[in-house]
Amino acid sequence: MYENLFLQIGKTEEAIDRKIAEAFHLIFEDEEERFYFEKQNGTAYMMDTGNIDARTEGMSYGMMMAVQMDRRDLFDKLWAFSMTYMHHSDGVYEGYFAWSVRPDGVRNAQGPAPDGEEYYAMALFFAAARWNEPAYADAARDILRHCVHQHELVEGGRAMWAPENKYIRFVPEADFSDPSYHLPHFYELFARHADECDRAFWAEAAEASRRYIALSCHPETGMASEYAEYDGTPRLMFGKKMEFYSDAYRVAMNMGLDAAWFGKTPALTKAADNLQRFFSENTKLGEYDSYMLDGTPTGEPAMHPNAIIATLGAASLAAEGPYRLAWVENLWNLPLRKGKRRYYDNCLHFFCLLMLAGRYRIFE
């Protein structure tokens, strides 16, 4: 079921196992470069090393890494931190998670970021199946129930998915989206395992998100914007004057995993091919700017160049173009990032390694 593109470039299963194990060690165990840290109260967090905080993005990523690698010990500590310091038990955000807290657990913000909730839910469903623990699935269903019905469950609350178009919102209060939040492959599985009354919603959301990703991707470069309106057009935010940067790199990774789990979608294959073509023909490997969607550089160097290489490698699962295997090779040869900005790049790097090795798996 799971295609292993590393085998197609001549790597052995032993070498693939070793590379994944080394990456996992660096993230979770290496004394100098890890960003997983345990607390004395039995909880643990993933630190955003660039911002010195723990984010629902990284916490849920860490839980997904742990379940994929069969490390329930790590999973439970990350989930305990999330529930202890980030989970809202009342108020308009009841059932949601504060998106950023300090390492000591003090919240930097109260509001949630929906990409965290969707990763929490998926990691919990996988954990329930892998370790035969129904309580995890119950927790996942509770998260998704709030994501869809917050406006019905909580006074003053707002759902994370817009009911009129089934698009995930950038934040509950926003009426626009983030293309990299769209995970149709997760929604296909939510349609099997969420509350029965919401399964049709999630099936519709999967198809809506595939259409939205295609709508958001530039017809020539394949780039999607960091933030976008519901019609797919870029939305500039936070004083930034560029469109393709940071979060947007994940769109390529998401297209790859959707193809790996549920088959290729022609429009997303075209976007993946265009993206690989643009970076192959217009840039030097590892030397990237931030861009407008038409490929115009803005003069601001990319903060996460390793993430670009990693996600373009993962896009090969969706791609069919001439650069497909070259980007698999590029990822294989890419060392994990070290230093201050290692957190985001290495999270994506690890996921992309799993994808291309056929080791990012569905547990049901």
* Planar angle of CA 83, 87, 91, nearest 5 degrees: 150
DSSP assignment string, 176-242: SB-GGG--HHHHHHHHHHS-GGGHHHHHHHHHHHHHHHHHHS-TTT----SSB-TTS-B---TT---
Cβ(218)–Cβ(252) under 8 Å?
A: no
Cβ(363)–Cβ(130) under 8 Å?
A: yes
Q: Is 13 a catalytic residue?
A: no
Task: Give Rg (Cα) of the chain.
Answer: 19
How many other CB atoms sit within 10 Å of the CB of residue 205?
A: 27
Q: Does residue 60 sit in helix, strand or coil?
A: helix
DSSP assignment string, 106-168: -BS-SS--HHHHHHHHHHHHHHHHHTT-HHHHHHHHHHHHHHHHHHHHSTT---SB-TTT-PB
Q: Is 247 a catalytic residue?
A: yes
Cβ(123)–Cβ(67) under 8 Å?
A: yes
Q: Does residue 301 sit in helix, strand or coil?
A: strand
Cβ(124)–Cβ(64) under 8 Å?
A: no
Query: 178, 247, 258, 273: which one is catalytic?
Result: 247
- Residue 7, classified by CB atoms within 10 Å of its CB into exposed (0-12), middle (13-18) or buried (19+), is middle
Give the whole-angstrom CA distance, residue 100 versus residue 113: 9
Cβ(356)–Cβ(316) under 8 Å?
A: yes
Cβ(222)–Cβ(272) under 8 Å?
A: yes
Strand pairing partners for 161? 168
Query: 57, 76, 117, 226: which one is catalytic?
Result: 57
DSSP assignment string, 329-347: HHHHTPPPP-STTHHHHHH
Catalytic residues: 57, 247
